[in-house]
Chain A
Amino acid sequence: MIAAGCDVGSLTTKVAITKDGAIISHHIVETGFKPDLAAKNAMDGALSKANLSIDDVGYCVSTGDGGKNVSFAGKYVSQLPCLSKGSYFFIPSVRTVVDVGGNATRAISVGKEGRVLSYRLNDKCAAGGGRFFDVLAEALELKLDDLGLLSQQSKSPLEIASQCTVFAESEVISLLNDGKDVVDIIAGVNQSIASRIASLVRNVGVKEDVVMTGGVAKNIGVIKSLEGWLGVGIKTVPADPQIVGAVGASLLAEKELQES
């Protein structure tokens, strides 16, 4: 029984293909401005990796901001169940999922078999979302993935006080102008983001194991300071943290197949 999950996010689109509860392939592409096209490309990528054709896929569930009009999906499911199912698949002991996407940050409290018990969404303002890091990386002319490791070099992280993503950028620029150390700036940003995320996780209740998903989960700096804020260890999945939602969607698709 082969199923697929397609997660169309505001920045990247991911497809995961599973067979009888095991991942056989996945693929990630930039979403760009044609979600349906991105979905198709991601699917084709995943299929070719698994030497399959679309007809082999029994059922596909789509999810994510742009997931509502994916032509080849049997149905759309919101990110919450997909993320919790996916995290549960990788780490059955999960009780709390923290997902930091492009614009939205979600803290999910997970129950039996990866069911969603309750959840919290970030306050209305882009600051604190993953987008913050794009802006930052751009301002510092660095690769997104370097932010985490670099921040670990910092001895004295700086305070980033601005509450607007764009202003935060100008704050970063003026800090640079003041000759401040880049790693301290990055560490400062990681901390301020982590502290925003921490409020959200605390709101939903910090129950271990806490699993972090989404692109920002690659940022060791954020994870470390989030662990600091929450006083618990944070696990990441033994795979690209971006595909968790897609994997969850695919597992839900398998469920659909069983039930049909």
Chain B
Amino acid sequence: MKEEAAQASFPRALSTMLGMLSGTQATDKEVRGMMKALPAMSAMMETFMLEPCIREVGLPFLEIQSSYLQNLSNAHKEGKKIAFENFNFPPAILYAMDVVPLSPEVISSFLSIGVPKGIFRFLDYTTGIGIPETMCTAQKGGVGVILSGLIEKPDMVLNMASGSCDTNSKMFDFISEYLHIPFCNIDAPPYWDEGGEMMRYYQQEYRKLVAFLEEQTGNKLDEDKLRQCCKEAKKQDEYVAEIYDLRRAVPNPVPAIFNFMMFGTRFMSSGTPQATKVMETMYEVVKERYKKGEGVLPREKARAGFVYLGHFTMGGEFWRWLEHNGISLIMEGLAILGHQHYTIDTSTVDTMLDSLAGQAHNMIMTKQIRGPLDYPGQWFEDIATLAKDLNLDCAIYLGTMGCKNTWGGIKVLMQMIEEELGIPTLIIHSDTWDDRVTPWPTIRDQIEEFVNTVVVQ
């Protein structure tokens, strides 16, 4: 099967491409040439390499992805353990303890963008082993890839945010039973607070994680390594904050795809120097664009807030289309929801663990969709803060049909946004990883209709 081959060769093709590009400041011409030479990579290159301003960040970003996949394929040879873990968890602690992260959502997303027909086959594969089709595609795709043997099987399961989403957590619960591998549940408490009881609860849970990892790997937590990871994580947070500030500008100088690259980097490699490099380059590029007054083309006609997800199929069409149709992607939920309600304090092991726990406790989803919509620090409050601060002029929901938690609250949330913030809203029934639910062209038309009818008047 064609797609099958494409998917299997994906990691190899990726590293080949990077091998050819790295170091050099590739020109448009070279990239185009490469897109012909390496058809398996053309979607990735079109998304992350073609636009010169994106390319600068795209290269280090793709290197992260490449080493993410490399680590996975080498892990067992090098006697390292692979941990099946959530996307909405910064893996710094895993790097500090020499554990290789494997997040199904990361795999799903890159295949969706990079491979024709994305993860459809793998979605069907999981249905085949009895996983309900109503489960979340974000995990089903990656799980399908793992169970069908394209990626090394994990040695343990870390469910780092039970409480943010049943569907997500249940997949982790399931995998540990299905593969008979050890399971560690790190529970996000039912409410969110800043440095209060709930935060303490999560910090206690986080200690469980460290103990579990030590037990599973036989490695002791190395203070210096941990400190290194924390320092990097801190720098990364600072760049994210800097970039956040620049989003206030009109036009917003942050290219749409940077949102994806920002959380992609965090989900894959938070705490590594590579990640810092991406964030730094990203900041430099955005600063330059800001100075030159560059934004979406031809002009910024809408400042859109995607309150949850973007759309990850069709070789990154989503971001390119917004970029060239005057719709500025001010926020993509995953990228900037939940600003830093924590600080990274590197003085002692305890302060470091508490800091990382704080970071995880404030990750997207983990933070704002764990409790009732209008409770402190929850979904509505976060959107409201951003909407005012970055003056959004519309709010759009894209999600997955598996996302019961957001589908349970989104209609009410949008009602609140319209009434209390006076911003028009649009809810689209689609699936970020599965075009068979609603094809991208339909989604695109709905966004266009919405923006032209009620946003620009």
Q: Which residues of A contact B (CB under 8 A)?
A: 78, 80-81, 115-121, 123-124, 203
Contacts and interface: CB of A to CB of B under 8 A. Distances in A.
B430 A124 contact: yes
B452 A78 contact: yes
Contact of B453 (A116, A123, A124): A116
A61 B303 CA distance: 28
16 contacts: A78-B448, A80-B453, A80-B454, A115-B457, A116-B453, A116-B454, A118-B418, A118-B424, A118-B425, A120-B427, A121-B446, A123-B429, A124-B401, A124-B429, A124-B437, A203-B415
Nearest to B407: A123
Interface string B405-428: 000000100010010000011010
Contacts of A78: 448-449, 452-453
Contact of A81 (B411, B424, B425, B453): B453
Contacts of A118: 418, 424-425, 454
Contacts of A81: 453
A203 B448 CA distance: 21
A50 B306 CA distance: 48
Nearest to A125: B429
Interface centre among B401, B424, B437, by most chain A C-beta atoms within 10 angstroms, is B424
Shortest 3 CB-CB distances between A and B: which pairs?
A124-B429, A78-B449, A80-B453
Interface size class of B (residues with CB under 8 A): 10 to 19
A124 B449 CA distance: 17
Contacts of B446: 121
B216 interface: no
A203 B413 CA distance: 12
B22 interface: no
Contacts of B16: none
B351 interface: no
Given A118-B418, A124-B430, 11 more contacts: A78-B449, A78-B452, A115-B457, A116-B454, A117-B454, A118-B425, A118-B454, A120-B427, A121-B427, A124-B437, A124-B438
Nearest to B437: A124
Interface centre among B427, B449, B457, by most chain A C-beta atoms within 10 angstroms, is B449
A124 B399 CA distance: 13
Contacts of A123: 429
Nearest to B430: A124
A160 B425 CA distance: 32
A80 B449 contact: yes
A120 B448 CA distance: 15
A78 B401 CA distance: 26
A203 B430 contact: no
A124 B442 CA distance: 12
A144 to B, nearest CB: 26
Nearest to B411: A203
A78 B425 CA distance: 17
B421 to A, nearest CB: 13
Contacts of B411: 203
A121 B424 CA distance: 14
Interface in B373-430: 401, 411, 415, 418, 424-425, 427, 429-430
B414 to A, nearest CB: 9
Nearest to B449: A78
A116 B455 CA distance: 10
A148 to B, nearest CB: 29
A190 to B, nearest CB: 24
A181 B401 CA distance: 37
A14 to B, nearest CB: 19
A119 B454 contact: yes
Contacts of A115: 457
A3 B411 CA distance: 39
A80 B452 CA distance: 10
A115 B456 CA distance: 12
Contacts of A119: 453-454
Contacts of A120: 427
A121 B437 CA distance: 16
Contacts of B425: 118
Nearest to B424: A118
Interface in B192-214: none
Contacts of B415: 203
A203 B429 CA distance: 16
B451 to A, nearest CB: 10
A218 B438 CA distance: 30
Contacts of A203: 411, 415
A145 B453 CA distance: 33
Nearest to A80: B453
Contacts of B430: 124
A96 B52 CA distance: 48
A118 B401 CA distance: 24
Interface in B233-265: none
A119 B414 CA distance: 12
Contacts of B438: 124
A117 B450 CA distance: 11
A115 B425 CA distance: 16
Interface string B281-317: 0000000000000000000000000000000000000
A80 B453 CA distance: 7
